[in-house]
Amino acid sequence: MAEGYVYCFTNESMPGLVKIGMTTRTPEERLHEANNNGVPTYRPPTPYVIELAKRVNDSSRREQIIHKHFDHERVNPRREFFRVSMERIKLLFDLMDEIDGEPRNEDRDDQIKEKSSRRSLSRCLENGQKIRHKTHNNASGHGVFDSNLNAIVYKGDTYKTLNRFATDYYNNVVFKWEQKSKIKNGWKVCEYESDGLWYPTDGLKLTN
């Protein structure tokens, strides 16, 4: 399980296309290679630039999962080019844990995030309000906030924090990871329903 980087390059000569790959070197080294590799006549007339890059464990596996997620937007199955928005790519990059060398206590992380943002389910959601993960907007794929339980209920399971709901939903519905991932901030990757429309949960106001 090699450490490395997943990256996203763009090129102004190819509007609407992005190149998503991985490298065990630095993104800058990979960028230099992409801009200087092959016969100059066949390279794009303008250089690639780095839009996103993240250092992760098992970078090859992470690359494969991203490629699979955007399979329908892939221009050529033998190339790493996709016609997909930067917003969607950034969302997946945000879901991957970055290597920072610090040991993590997951319960403590959830508590700290809720305290620091002053957000909690009971203070932001109304009873019966629907919650879903941004990357999977199937109408049947949502949880419901139960104020009596002070938890999100999804397929019989209860989740006391949005982080835990988003993590479980992401790992078991959006992707079935071989190596499970933990979402650091569920408020950034979920949406809530109000009057038939869906809005980002990180824009929720406190209800009390």
Contact 7, 52 (CB under 8 A): yes
- What pLDDT score does 105 carry? 44
pLDDT value at 116 more than 50: no
Contact 79, 34 (CB under 8 A): no
Mean pLDDT value of segment 39-67 = 88
- What pLDDT score does 184 carry? 61
- What pLDDT score does 92 carry? 85
pLDDT in tens, 12-41: 999 999 999 999 999 999 999 999 887 777
The residue whose two tokens read 């106001």 is: 205
Query: Comparing 71-80, 129-138, 144-153, 166-175, which segment has the lowest mean pLDDT?
Result: 166-175
Whether pTM > 0.85 for this model: the answer is: no
Contact 165, 154 (CB under 8 A): yes
Mean pLDDT value of segment 76-100 = 85
pLDDT value at 108 more than 70: no
Return the bridge partners of 193, or none: 198
pLDDT value at 178 more than 80: no
Q: What percent of the chain has pLDDT over 70?
A: 76
Tokens of 79: 């190339």
**Strand pairing of 190-194 and 157-159?**
unpaired
- What pLDDT score does 6 carry? 94
- Looking at per-residue pLDDT, the higher value among 145 and 91 belongs to 145
- What pLDDT score does 20 carry? 96
